[in-house]
Structure 1
Amino acid sequence: MAVHYCGLCRRTSFSGRRHLYSAAHRRRLREALARLQEEVAAARAAAAATAAEDEDEEGDGGGAVRPYDPAEHDRRVWCLCCGRGVRRDGRRGGLALPQAGLLQHLAGAEHRRETTRFWRENRAEAALRERFLVPAEEYERFARALERALAAHQRREEERIRQMAAGIREAERRQRETVQAALQLQTEPELCVGPSVCSPPAGPERDFSHGAEQPGPSGMQMGPDLNWMESGQALTFIGHQETEGKGNVHTGAKPPWLTEEEEEGGSKQQIGPSYEEFLKQKEKQKLRKLPVERVGANFDHTSQTGDSWLPSFGRVWNHGRRWQSRHQFRTESGEKKRKR
């Protein structure tokens, strides 16, 4: 008896190749080919749209090139004829080329060869085979249109970058003009109040010892003539604050974090607990986590024992001698018997 395994139906038929003409096999074949035909039709429609947009002089090729998105453009299409998954979209750097990967596969010689084999093995209709193939001329036309679309996209990106650079330069120029205008207002000569008072010389270079204005810490112009006092404002000078015998970082002295502190009496003052106290406290923290009523928790370590003392076989004890624990055990046992 002939045995035949059908990869499309995923079953073994003991009737041999007669299974290929059965109703179940024909139904599964039509359903699988219909799914693949939808993907092929969408890819060929995208190729035709790209070629038509390329022939149009006003077209910019924006539909054939898109920003790459892994969630959208990493999808694969199962090729029934070749028995493997094929990437639907192509990729060029950070750009995605819709349907480019599937079109390249459908136009390849390997897909044409595997399609012929699949049609022969599954007894599919010969008239439907050309629907699952892309002619080489059609793919070459699509490839040329795609290259022109990529070039147009590159030109648009360069133009956008040039416009952004021009906008940045224009903003910088306006900022420089604003700063220069503000500086010119500050350097304008003041009018003379009397014959003995003259305005300082105008120009970029001025002698600060003869009425030059310097910005003070409060943002107002201050000079030796103290014109700011005419506005009714007054400041109090408290003198230079200096520490006797010690400098600061502004006078070139060593910063305090680099100087060794001199302790009085020649001994360093200890801050915080010592290392031994820390270890003792750590042991106490460990003991606090143990149960309070554990065996040996209340053991009397201060009791004195002579050298002639030998241990007796009694129970575990906390106080007194170990031999006394036998009497304690007998007493407790008697009380328990009476309770019973």
Structure 2
Amino acid sequence: MAAQYCALCRRTAFAGRRHRYSAAHRRRLREALGRLQEEVAAARAAAAAAGEDGGGAVRPYDPAEHDRRVWCLCCGRGVRRDGRRGGLALPRAGLLQHLAGPEHRRETARFWRENGAEAAERERFLVPAEEYERFARALEQALAAHRQREEERIQQMAAGIREAERRQRETVQAALQLQQEPEPCTGPSVGSSPVAPERDASCNADQPGPSGMQAGPDLNWMESGQALTFIGHQEAEGRGNVHTGAKPPWLTEKEDGSKQQIGPSYEEFLKQILFLEEKQKLKKLPAERVGANFDHTSQTGDSWLPSFGRVWNHGRRWQSRHQFRTESGEKKKKR
């Protein structure tokens, strides 16, 4: 008897078509169809709710919630559960569209035929085309209503912003008018006391003009107990900084008319850059390398090739050999 692979049980059965009537296969089929039946029932309930009042048919899109997939046992692939329209999520719309499609209907018939499921239960895993059309129309109405609500909300926000700006302009204009209007000053009446000149001086101080120039800032707006004492503008001749209106130091000129140089010159800057580059190169080399302390001041002829292999890094290699032989001979003589 030919072997047959069961995708539901994930094993090869050597009993042929009798495997689909076994107790293990029926149990797995019942459990798998039960999980799919829960998702189908939830999708059809969402379609019925959207058809009644459109509640819950449109929600703000959240990737963590609305990017889930549902495993379709009949088609053998994952199906996106929710739909998406711009920044909005359509709950269960993707699964409903799949359940109402012709491909799912064809694959469901094949799955029922291969696994020996109850024929009466097959319609429970399908969505009629009329039901999906009603859901699609309700979904379009819900989207239109949501767009209208968003437009109204935006218009209300814009009106609130305009009203706040209008109040702010009125407040600023009222404050400017209060500053521009001088306080009325009554002159000395007949038979007044001799302290009238003092009052006249105080009135003249508040009036605009050369005689009523204000010496300091107006601190009347500050609360009692928190007023600060104004000691006058501190200005110095020929001194200051860029914040007080003085000329920057790099634009000041010397007595001979030449501009003052600030910082190092361009040549010194290049020397410093070269010095840093050479120092960085020396850091990368090992300090105990051969020839690190070589004496470059020693004199050699043009016929000599460069050699710095002496033990003490001073002189030439042949000098090191000659000194080593001399010291070895002296030690042998002492022995």
- Tell me, yes or no, whether TM beats 0.5: yes
1:18 is matched with 18
C-alpha distance in 2 between matches for 1:214 and 1:144: 76
Shift of 1:167: 1.9
Cα deviation, residue 257, structure 1: 6.2
In structure 2, the CA distance between the partners of 1:258 and 1:49, relative to structure 1 (3 Å rule), is same
Equivalent of 2:158, from 146, 155, 165? 165
After superposition, the Cα gap between the structure-2 partners of 1:85 and 1:305, relative to the gap in structure 1 and judged at 3 Å, is closer
> Deviations 1:171-219 (Å, cap 9, x if unpaired)?
223222322322332233432432898xxxxxxxxxx8799x9998835
- Kindly, what percent of the aligned residue pairs are identical? 73
Following superposition, the deviation at residue 74 of structure 1 comes to 0.9
- What is the CA–CA distance in structure 2 between the aligned matches of 1:234 and 1:86, rounded to whole Å? 76
Are 1:303 and 2:304 counterparts? no
Name the SS of the counterpart of 2:84 in structure 1: strand
Aligned-partner Cα distance in 2 for 1:297–1:239: 62
1:94 maps onto 2:87 in alignment? yes
Alignment correspondent of 2:66: 73
AA matched with 2:129: A
**SS of corresponding position for 1:323:** helix
Q: 1:320 to 1:66 in 2, by over 3 A?
A: closer
Q: Deviations over 1:302-329 (max 9, x none)?
A: 223356x767999635334533322444
Q: Are 1:314 and 1:323, in contact at CA under 8 Å, matched by a contact in 2? A: no
Secondary structure of the 1:102 match is: helix
Work out which of the residue numbers 309, 313, 319 in structure 1 matches 2:314.
319
Q: Deviations over 1:64-112 (max 9, x none)?
A: 2110001110111111112222111111221111111111211222222
Matched, 1:182 2:181: no
Give, in whole Å, the separation in 1 of the partners of 2:320 and 2:290: 13
> Which residue of structure 2 aligns with residue 29 of structure 1?
29
Structure 2 unaligned blocks of 5 or more: 189-196, 201-207, 221-228
Alignment of 1:211-226 (within 5 A): 218-219=217-218
Structure number with higher helix proportion: 2
Question: 1:126 & 1:152 partners in 2: Cα distance?
Answer: 41
The 5 Å alignment of 1:36-47 reads 36-47=36-47
Q: What is the deviation of 1:259?
A: 8.7
In 2, are the aligned partners of 1:314 and 1:325 still within 8 Å (CA)?
Answer: no
5 Å-filtered alignment, 1:235-314, equals 270=265, 273=268, 275-276=270-271, 278-280=273-275, 282-305=277-300
Please say which of residues 134-143 and 33-42 is displaced more in the overlay. 134-143
Alpha-carbon distance in 1 for matches of 2:87, 2:141: 17
- TM-score under structure 1 length normalisation: 0.70
**Does the CA-based 8 Å contact 1:91-1:97 persist in structure 2?**
yes
**Contact 1:76 1:85 (8 Å CA) reproduced:** yes
Change (3 A) 1:217 1:141: farther
| Corresponding residue number in structure 1 for 2:205 | none
Q: Does the 8 A contact of 1:315 with 1:326 survive in 2?
A: no
Shift in Å, 1:164: 1.7
What is the RMSD of the two structures over their aligned residues, measured on CA atoms? 4.5
- Matched residues in 2 for 1:43 and 1:75: separation? 14
Three-state SS of the structure 1 residue aligned to 2:317 is: coil
Q: Is the 8 A contact 2:294 2:308 kept in 1?
A: no
User: How many pairs were matched up?
Assistant: 303
CA distance in 1, matches of 2:104, 2:305: 94
